[in-house]
Amino acid sequence: MASNDRDLPDLSGDPQPGDLIEIFRPAYQHWALYLGDGYIINLTPVDETQAAAMSSVKSVFSRKAVVRMQLLKEVVGSDSYRVNNKYDHNHTPLPVSEIIQRAQVLIDQEVSYDLLGSNCEHFVTLLRYGEGVSEQQASRAIGAISLVTAAASAFSVLGLINTRSRNRPF
């Protein structure tokens, strides 16, 4: 579903080929590029099914990604999204035909992935503008990693408590 959040600028609408799509995951934003006819191109972890895509924790720690063409509605799932060509004011988009051609050549290719230097936003802006741009800052990445680490620690502690309580003789 498209985002209707009042705190966000109204950048939503029907995506057009070449548009950047910002998908709001629980702890971060995932980026894709709209190809047309309901399809997007985006980065997914190498060792996961297309359905799991970049929605998993594993994507934060991946060093490689696979370029996939998928249906926008399947990638978004129950999350929200918006068209967000936020860099158009200071970067000139390439012609749509060139954006689509550059994207199609990369489908099913394995590429390097780095949360801070070569992430999904860098990937789609490289396709749209010919230059990888990302405002996703280190503090946001560190915050997401901290959240994942805290959750993993909490589950470990809960598992340890549960195991100890089962092993009591009384």
Q: Report the pLDDT value the prediction gives residue 37, as an integer from 0 to 100.
A: 97
Measuring CA to CA, which residue among 108, 165, 148, 161 is closest to residue 28? 148
Domain range enclosing 53: 19-147
Could you say which of 30, 89, 91, 122 is catalytic?
Answer: 30
Q: Is 30 a catalytic residue?
A: yes
Reading the block at residue 125, the tokens are 């802006």
Contact between 114 and 63 under an 8 Å Cβ cutoff? The reply is yes
Reading the block at residue 65, the tokens are 């990604």
Q: Is 159 contained in some domain?
A: no
Token match 């100890």: residue?
164
Q: Report the pLDDT value the prediction gives residue 58, as an integer from 0 to 100.
A: 52
Q: Is 73 contained in some domain?
A: yes
Q: Is 57 contained in some domain?
A: yes
CATH code of the domain containing 126? 3.90.1720.10
Q: Is 111 contained in some domain?
A: yes
Q: Tell me how far apart the alpha carbons of residues 150 and 156 are, in angstroms, rounded to a whole number.
A: 10
Q: Is 68 contained in some domain?
A: yes
Q: Is 130 contained in some domain?
A: yes
What DSSP designation does 7 have? T
Q: Is 124 contained in some domain?
A: yes
Token match 């359905």: residue?
51
Contact between 113 and 107 under an 8 Å Cβ cutoff? The reply is no
Q: Tell me how far apart the alpha carbons of residues 88 and 91 are, in angstroms, rounded to a whole number.
A: 5
| Burial of 69: CB neighbours in 10 Å, binned 0-12, 13-18, 19+ | middle
Q: Is 137 contained in some domain?
A: yes
Measuring CA to CA, which residue among 130, 100, 121 is closest to residue 39? 100
Phi, psi of 155 (to 5 degrees): -65, -40
pLDDT averaged per 10 residues, the chain (length 170): 46 84 92 97 78 49 86 95 96 98 96 82 95 67 60 62 55
Q: How many domains does the chain have?
A: 1
